[in-house]
Amino acid sequence: MTPRESYLDWNATAPLRSEAAQAIAAILAEPGNPSSVHRRGRAARQTVEAARRAVAALVDAAPDWVVFTSGGTEANHLALRAADRPRVLVSSIEHSSILEAAPTAQRIPVDRDGVVSVDALDRLLAADPRPALVSVMLANNESGVVQPVADLAAVAHRHGALVHCDAVQAAGKLPVSVAALGVDLLSLSAHKLGGPTGIGALIVHDAVELRPWLRGGGQEHGRRAGTENVAGIAGFGAAAGVAGETGIYDRVRRLRDALETEIAGTVPEAVVFATGVARLPNTTAVALPGVSAETQVIALDLAGVMVSAGAACSSGKVQPSHVLTAMGAGPDLARSTIRVSLGWSTTEAEIAHFLDAWTALYRRHRARRVAPRAA
């Protein structure tokens, strides 16, 4: 049976896990300020610290390294601005919260598959000896391409640079270890892995000096002022506790691969990006040449299928993807690309629902294109 609605936009946000919802409800029933010394305050502090341990465990970090923020965007801004380095280098495919936090940063190029060039980073760092910060995401939110962060970090450290990694899309879908990656700073966002919106974290290695840019209190060990969002933090901790079970994405990968095989067999004109390199197990970036991404998203929505045109963080605007442009895709192809992203509860019926709606759109487009020649 075809679902009435099929949600295939998990990279935009994941559904709230029941464990997170229960943790949030418990805190809302008995509020307390973690800075207060009475019993409610102490209970709130215990909640925050338990969540800190859970988030740290998700990425193989020490609990003291976890700085809770309002989300991934703030974590990225905190990393780029508070590290206070005169040079900043970012990859050309970073999320807009990185690109706009450091608009004058040098761009590290990627190849046609969207993989950041280790050699290019080496050359850029060698050309200027000033202290630098390098920021490269672990997995791209649009293409799903996994980056060689450990190799990039090794090169950066050889030049004395700090390394920040935006792991917002990767956490919960891939095993993530701060130690294995060799990074100094790492960003997370709760709502991408089944926690609530409005809460995230920056992991700060204890060897890194971070200059706080929100002041007015001693919260988060003096690194981020403001009363903690205890309910959000509790939900984040609960989601992190179950998000480490990344084996569930083996099933998701099989669904994604089956989706792409069906696309190749039924829509020969379609272009699926970066199939030859490591990607997130849930993400497909697919272009339907000649049909704008906006048209596809609207048509699919009318059919009850929800996907995105690239990133879902641009105030609802549908525009050519800077990620695909950096990968060498022409404007027409970039404008005709949508992102299909799956999650732990995605079903075969939802995949079939997408394929039925999308191939129907393709057939309508092909019929309109052929009709004038037939006349």
* Lowest model confidence (mean pLDDT) among 103-117, 313-327, 357-371: 313-327
What are the sequence ranges of the domains in the chain? 6-14+246-374, 18-243
User: Chain-wide mean pLDDT for the chain?
Assistant: 93
Tokens 């995401």 belong to residue: 137
Which string of b and e fits 200-235 if b means at least 16 CB within 10 Å? Answer: bbbbbbeebebebebeeeebbeebbeeebbbbbbbb
pLDDT at position 315 is: 43
Helix then strand count (H, E) for the chain reads 13, 12
What are the φ/ψ torsions at residue 9 (nearest 5 degrees)?
-130, 45
21 CB contacts (<8 Å, ≥6 apart)?
A: 235
Instruction: Give helix 18-29 / helix 230-243 axis angle, nearest 10°.
Output: 160
Is the domain spanning 18-243 CATH 3.40.50.720? The answer is: no
What are the φ/ψ torsions at residue 351 (nearest 5 degrees)?
-60, -45
pLDDT at position 373 is: 54
| CB-CB neighbours of 319 under 10 Å | 13
> Tens digits of per-residue pLDDT, 269-302?
999 999 999 999 999 999 999 999 999 999 999 9
Q: Quick one: what percent of the chain has pLDDT higher than 70?
A: 96
Tell me the CATH number for domain 6-14+246-374: 3.90.1150.10
pLDDT at position 316 is: 52
pLDDT at position 369 is: 73
> Tens digits of per-residue pLDDT, 318-337?
567 899 999 999 999 999 99
- Judge whether 313 counts as a catalytic residue: yes
- Report the pLDDT averaged over residues 26-31: 93
Q: At 227, is the pLDDT very low, low, confident or very high (cuts 50, 70, 90)?
A: confident
| CB-CB neighbours of 312 under 10 Å | 17
Reduced 3-state DSSP string for 22-69: HHHHHHHHCCCCCCCCCHHHHHHHHHHHHHHHHHHHHCCCCHHHEEEE
List 312, 313, 352, 355, catalytic entry: 313
